Amino acid sequence: MDFQAATQNDAVEWRIADALVPYDATVATMEARVAAIHVGAERELVWLVEHPPLYTAGTSADTADLIEPSRLPVFRTGRGGQYTYHGPGQRVAYAMLDLTRRGRDVGCHVWRLEEWMIRVLARFDVKGERREGRVGVWINRGSHDDKIGAIGVRVRHWVTYHGLALNVDPDLGNYAGIVPCGISAEVSGHGVTSLAALGVKVTMDEVDAALRATFDDVFEAVPPCRS
């Protein structure tokens, strides 16, 4: 598995995958890194990847939400949440962070992941928002909301892994094979979107730079949920 070098600080290592990374390989890599962080053998890691087209099923996934089971490979995973889509054009940020150092509060960690995406979007003049009872980041479309960023996390020994998925320019048609995150467009009126679908032309390198530039302000500060 090849990586491009990325900016690092003393506490957190950054990696950017230079090719599509198979999902099962990412899970194995994350689990090994989490174990190493727990015993102090490795630093925290933020790993930015893209996956081949696939669906993942979190611990709350309902099989009825897998509408087209033969459309793409499906991976059962230990992260929280339901079904989601991963594929080229979507930036997945796997955050392997030590909550013993950052505050043992999983809810605040999820808040930070949302805040991270909101600040990244703001750099491209896009207003991302939270919605009560719906994890992730949403775009207000007037009569409904469209989801642009999904979150799924797991914590082991107070070290987090999995993370967020921000839609830059993926094939949104593949969301038709699932009920993403358990939210049916037919029932709720909500959908999914991407920066490209919003008319925002941005490269993955630019998104990665925004992720790096906003990380410290979000994760090194005390969030409102802990104040």
**Inter-residue contact 183 to 134 (CB < 8 Å):** yes
Establish how many alpha carbons lie within 13 A of residue 76's alpha carbon, considering only the half-sphere containing its beta carbon.
5
Alpha helices in 3-148 (DSSP H): 23-38, 99-102, 106-122
How many angstroms separate the CA atoms of 30 and 114, rounded? 21
Ramachandran sector of residue 178 (left: φ over 0; alpha: ψ -120 to 50; beta: rest)? beta
Active-site residue identified among 93, 95, 181, 211: 181
Ramachandran sector of residue 129 (left: φ over 0; alpha: ψ -120 to 50; beta: rest)? beta
Locate tokens 């889509």: which residue? Answer: 85
Please confirm, yes or no, whether 181 is among the known catalytic residues.
yes
How many angstroms separate the CA atoms of 117 and 195, rounded? 12
Locate tokens 């320019």: which residue? Answer: 169
Q: How far apart are the first and last CA of the chain?
A: 41
Catalytic positions, written as ranges: 181
